[in-house]
Amino acid sequence: MLKKLLKFFVISFIVISVIIMFSTPIIVKYLTGRARIVGKPAQAEIFIDEKEKSDAKLFISNSNFEGTQKRDYLILYLDDVKDYNGIPVLIIDKEHKVLMFPNSGKEDYDIIFKNLFQSDSGANVMIPVNNKVKGLGFEPDLIFEDKVIKFKISAENKIYDVTINIS
């Protein structure tokens, strides 16, 4: 009886582990040291084309992936990636006033229990939006006004106005 119960728990654990690995691959990356937790979202209101996007979240990143260099990044997580050419996040480099996107996909950024997880590949390869070769090839017109950030993003042959009000 004890052997059957133990076997049941082992099989259940394996099945649950496989389900988690396939449904949220960032967890496997985190457990193997290839992802980190950036943190919980900052207090911010995000508007795209003057409509509030409650599913979009803003996170603050103060260091590189390894934690060896200071950064002043805001990470805008876009939950509905199909609307934005598959781009899961936009990174705002406040120090250099550059809008970038990572050379990665949804599997490199995910929100779990309100925390943003970021993989090493999602953190280390970023492309400026205005890069004519690998970027989106247009000027995002990034503007900082006190606690308001404005820029444009191009997706699906349309230009979107993005406004972030940081509380």
Domain total for the chain? 1
Q: Which two tokens stand for residue 38?
A: 């950036």
pLDDT of residue 86: 64
Give the range of the structural domain holding residue 121, as residue numbers without chain letter: 2-166
How many Cα atoms occupy the beta-carbon half-sphere of 15 within 13 Å? 6
| Count of C-beta atoms within a 10 Å radius of residue 47 | 16
Residue 54 CA to residue 67 CA, distance in Å, equals: 30
- pLDDT tens track for 143-159: 999 899 999 987 777 88
Rounded to an integer, the average pLDDT of 120-139 is 86
DSSP lists the bridge partners of residue 151 as 162
pLDDT of residue 25: 84
pLDDT of residue 166: 93
- pLDDT tens track for 72-83: 999 999 876 555
**pTM of the shown model:** 0.85
Query: Contact at 8 Å (CB) between 43 and 166?
Result: yes
